[in-house]
Structure 1
Amino acid sequence: MASSSSAVVTPAPGNRRALPGPRAGTALTGRMFSALHDRNLVYNASWEDPALDRAALRPGPDDHVLVITSGGCNALDYLLAGAGRVTAVDVNPRQTALLELKAAGIRRLSHGEFFTLFGTGRAPGAREMYRDVLRADLSPPSRRFWDGYIEAFTGRGWRNSFYYRGTSGLLAKGLMLYLRRFQGVGPDLEALLDAPTLDRQREIYESRLREPLRAVSRLAAQPLALSLGGVPPQQRREIAEEYPGGPARLIHDGFEAIFGRLPVADNYFWRAYITGSYTPSCCPEYLRAGNFGRLRELLPRLRMRTSTVTSCLRSLEPVERVSKFVLLDHMDWMGWSDQAALAEEWQAIVDAAGPGARVIYRSAGLRTRYLEPVRVRHEGRVRRLTELLERHPRLAARLHAQDRVHTYGSFHIADLAAAR
């Protein structure tokens, strides 16, 4: 990132000892993570529950939402939720390409064709559909990517669904193969998804799946698996230091909530990774037939950018102030490894925020200690960032308990406000 003279990053003298940063991990794990993420599509779908975001943000026609693109699902969800404008930004051009393909499909395909691609995840005619209908709607970088990757939708090979592609999809497919072939619980997973009541679902989980999934938790906590799932060394260290039991326990506790306490009937996140597909009744809002026509009308409100959050915000015109920021968990990635970049990003957020702007973000850890040293310039003064954040921990905790994904340690909601 380019440096910014308005970002003040020097921590208070007393904070250096009080806030030791997690180590980034070994050089080998760092290189492994970079090798995977610098060359690949990482997220084939958004892995954050937009139901929480809707409740936390309550977007309306006057709102401009900025969101990190990821799989693009939630950027489309915010349009359906009523946002006046959505800017989706991601430093990975492959994530932008995925959202561009979804937008092209919404504009050019029937709902049935669109659902075959992004709902079923397997479309034998995907190459022809792409060549004849979708390709012309894409930017040149996105065309180059999909020219070589559209076969991900054809349903061929052992990764026979788009939802088993990308690095996160490779992890999902590997873990499902382990459960089905080595643990023999494929029928139990299907029974879990089809359970008619929460009591029956809980019974299946506790009697047949808890121990196999405990083993999966240990496998998924290994460095290679976490790298495939988009967890860099810095974030792994954050989990190890802040979550009792570390990554394996975080994953296991997530399974306890997802399958033992929350109804799985509408949990399209885990259905896609267990089966490789959504169903018409268990899918993201952007895939529902009743939303398709409206979403096509709303697409002009969506803008896509491939850049850092900071660069994107710096490029906005004064009239484009942002009222809602959705930062996902990316601050975990940069919080301890690049405090200067983190402070620069927050300076850009403060500068671009409209009155009463709200920020939501997630973390693998239980706290976000890396925000405490950050300083920004606000109304002509250098201030601690934490003085400008009016947090809502009770609402955040209540919503986090309802999270259908449960891969994060914490969820945070804060309003940007003048110091009280």
Structure 2
Amino acid sequence: MVVERLSKTWFNLVHGRNIVYNQCWEDPRLDRVALELTPQDRVVVITSAGCNALDYALAGAGHVHAVDMNSKQNHLLELKQVGLKHLDYPTFWKLFGKGSLPEWNEVYPSLLRPNLTSDARKFWDHKGILFRQGRRKSFYFRCTSGTFAWFVNYYVDRVAKMRDAVNALLAAENVEQQKSLFEQYDLAKKLWKPMIKFAMRRDVTLSLLGVPRAQRRQIDEGYPGGILQFVMDRVEAVFTKIPLKDNYAWRVYLTGEYSPEACPEYLKQDNFERLKNGVANQVSRHTNTMQGFLEGQSEPITRFILLDHMDWLSKDPAKKILTAEWQAIVDRAAPNARVLWRSAGLDGTFINPIEVSIDGKKKTLKEILSYNDRLANELHPQDRVHTYGSFCIADIRR
């Protein structure tokens, strides 16, 4: 219990006043297939960095509600939306494609600041340094998850001295080349030195990645070899089994920037024009819990994207929060609403025993969720991020 309290205290210190995620760590290409979005869809998603909320709007959703307890994540999404509306494409690309805008002091006061809400303005008045070059050259080497990426790059460049190998992998034309290069450079041995193995077992390190102890426990209890082996296996799979050519999630953390060929959809020039011309307005921001947001809504929701946050609530006493959240989901769900979520655990159906009330009767989630295991099992191995143990797609049947 002492370890649990210390871990929670550290996690809160790390994340309490920070942008935690400077890019989304879920692959929206899978979500587009699973969600089958139409203009009739009303979507709710946990904001994270906002990349995927914009992606769902581009994919054709009628409206996307981006909800996050951390107001800073919504400030980041707001900066993207304001930038889309008021910047030209080259400037926007510098800001979020390169992660660095040297002319921030000229662009921000004239084009961005006047169009931000008061809370976001107060935040970015003090946080413009995140986009100005310094010892850390990029926004993607800053914030909480970016700090971890910066340490990784320091290790790659200064300790393991494997930058040539990483660059060769990112330039590879196919998976076969990647696998050959991985073996040629003996990356498994170079990467997993004792100091890295030690660090990956520490709650301090995992906190920088936004992994709370409850989620870490899920992996330790369910994965052979625990958290360290899970990470080692996932990294090797990314380098040897999944094409890196368009894997923007890993590219940006290994280089500090995206490339035109490997970037989120909102950063592509054609999509930039669509977003500027109104699509970005189809995304609204809400600083709230998922439960709180849903309880304040009267409009039915057709699509719910819960990321991996249910892992955080998987152990007592937090399970009560998860139960209340699912009651709110069921209460606001349109007929045949669809829910997506990911889990660090190998079985995302750990939520099945949760009971909710429908028409005055108690039912378990197992009774009302119709899982599309075939599609989930087909999509999950294609996940470019590849850091989750399971992926679930389910329709709510009353």
TM-score bucket (shorter structure)? over 0.9
Q: Find the partner of 1:42 among 12, 20, 36.
A: 20
Please tell me whether residue 194 in structure 1 is matched to residue 174 in structure 2: no
Q: Partner of 1:238 in structure 2? A: 218
How far apart are residue 130 of structure 1 and its match?
Answer: 1.4
Please tell me whether residue 354 in structure 1 is matched to residue 334 in structure 2: yes
- Residues 397 and 221 of structure 1, relative CA distance in 2, 3 Å threshold: farther
Q: Residue type of the partner of 2:53?
A: A
- Residues 57 and 135 of structure 1, relative CA distance in 2, 3 Å threshold: same
How far apart are residue 186 of structure 1 and its match?
Answer: 0.8
Deviations for 1:103-143, whole angstroms, at most 9, x for unmatched residues? 00000001111000000011111232111111122121111
Please tell me whether residue 329 in structure 1 is matched to residue 308 in structure 2: yes
Matches within 5 A, 1:306-385: 306-317=287-298, 320-337=299-316, 338-368=318-348, 370-385=350-365
Matches within 5 A, 1:15-414: 25-157=3-135, 159-208=136-185, 209-215=187-193, 216=196, 219-296=199-276, 297-317=278-298, 320-337=299-316, 338-368=318-348, 370-414=350-394
How far apart are residue 217 of structure 1 and its match?
Answer: 5.8
1:77–1:285 CA contact under 8 A, matched in 2: yes
Counterpart-to-counterpart distance in 1, 2:387 and 2:35: 21
2:342–2:348 CA contact under 8 A, matched in 1: no
- Residues 376 and 25 of structure 1, relative CA distance in 2, 3 Å threshold: farther
How far apart are residue 234 of structure 1 and its match?
Answer: 0.6
2:26–2:307 CA contact under 8 A, matched in 1: yes
1:239–1:364 CA contact under 8 A, matched in 2: yes
How far apart are residue 196 of structure 1 and its match?
Answer: 2.6
Q: State the TM-score, normalizing by the size of structure 2.
A: 0.96
Q: 1 or 2 for the larger relative contact order (CA 8 Å, sep ≥6)?
A: 1
- Residues 302 and 177 of structure 1, relative CA distance in 2, 3 Å threshold: same
2:100–2:138 CA contact under 8 A, matched in 1: yes
- Residues 334 and 167 of structure 1, relative CA distance in 2, 3 Å threshold: same
Q: Residue type of the partner of 1:300?
A: N
- Residues 24 and 358 of structure 1, relative CA distance in 2, 3 Å threshold: farther
Identity of aligned residues (%): 45
Gaps of 5+ in 2: none
How far apart are residue 24 of structure 1 and its match?
Answer: 9.8
Matched pairs, number? 393
How far apart are residue 369 of structure 1 and its match?
Answer: 5.9
Deviations for 1:249-302, whole angstroms, at most 9, x for unmatched residues? 111111122110111000001110000000111110000011111112212211
Question: Matched residue of 1:382: which SS?
Answer: strand
1:25–1:233 CA contact under 8 A, matched in 2: no
Q: Residue type of the partner of 2:288?
A: S
Question: Matched residue of 2:102: which SS?
Answer: coil
Q: Residue type of the partner of 2:42?
A: H
268-277 or 367-376: bigger deviation: 367-376
1:44–1:71 CA contact under 8 A, matched in 2: yes
Q: State the TM-score, normalizing by the size of structure 1.
A: 0.91
Output the aligned Cα RMSD.
1.4
